[in-house]
Amino acid sequence: MRHVRKFVWKLLRRRRLTADLERELAFHREMTAGQGNPIGLGNTSLLKEWVFDIGRFNLMENLWRDATLAARRLRHSPAYSIAALGCLALAMGIATAMFTLLNAVILRPLPYTDPQRLVWLTEVLKANSTDEITITPDFLDWRRFNHTFQALAGINEDTHIVTGLGRPLEVHSARASASHCLFSA
């Protein structure tokens, strides 16, 4: 808390501190010139930076300077400002959407008890077959002779063309077999 008060005090009294430093540097110039020293003080700008760096809350002051510079530059070119802010907003929106999707799909556990025990088996049916996986003899045999898995459920995904009053629509559908163990509410 003490550092914050010190930073605010220095920020509000910056002109006075700069004037005090200028007076002190002028005094030292006179002293070195009066003693006949031909070298002088050297780079006074560097000396000023060193003095201000001592006891300065560098991070906050640098952020303040950067913010004021950015505000001045944005005020001079409003079209560029709007484009930059739009890009930032778009990037934040995309990042938020990606995290939401990643969280929902990968990071959050599956809504099943013991999801690490789930197994996916698949069977590719012949291209001209009208059988559905839920009624194929293979699936029925898998279910009947199962001694390894707690339960088996079949699913069939298909695409249908729906026609009627308007334009035909392509509709994706899925049909699942009944399984009280997997799909319990």
Residue 185 predicted with pLDDT over 50: no
Q: How many CB atoms lie within 10 A of CB 133?
A: 19
Nearest to 11 by CA among 48, 74, 62, 78: 62
Q: Which of 51, 76, 101 corresponds to the end of one domain?
A: 76
Give the pair of three-digit tokens for residue 37. 């020293």
* pLDDT tens-place string over residues 155-174: 777 788 888 878 888 988 87
| Residues 26, 18: Cα–Cα separation, whole Å | 12
- CA dist list (Å): 47 to 52, 72, 92: 9, 28, 42
Residue 119 predicted with pLDDT over 70: yes
Whether 134 contacts 156, CB under 8 Å:
yes
| pLDDT computed for residue 132 by the predictor | 56
Supply φ then ψ for residue 108, to 5 degrees: -75, 135
Residue 147 predicted with pLDDT over 80: yes
* pLDDT tens-place string over residues 15-32: 777 788 888 888 888 887
In a domain, 87, yes or no: no
Range of the domain at 65: 2-76
| pLDDT computed for residue 88 by the predictor | 94
Torsion 106-107-110-116 (CA) sign: positive
* pLDDT tens-place string over residues 34-53: 777 766 677 777 777 777 66
In a domain, 67, yes or no: yes
Band of the pLDDT at 98, cuts 50, 70, 90? very high
In a domain, 86, yes or no: no
Mean pLDDT across the stretch 68-94? 90
Band of the pLDDT at 154, cuts 50, 70, 90? confident
Query: What's the total number of domains in the chain?
Result: 2
Distance of CA 136 to the CA centre of its chain: 47
Q: What is the pTM (predicted TM-score) of this model? A: 0.34
In a domain, 109, yes or no: no
| pLDDT computed for residue 54 by the predictor | 66
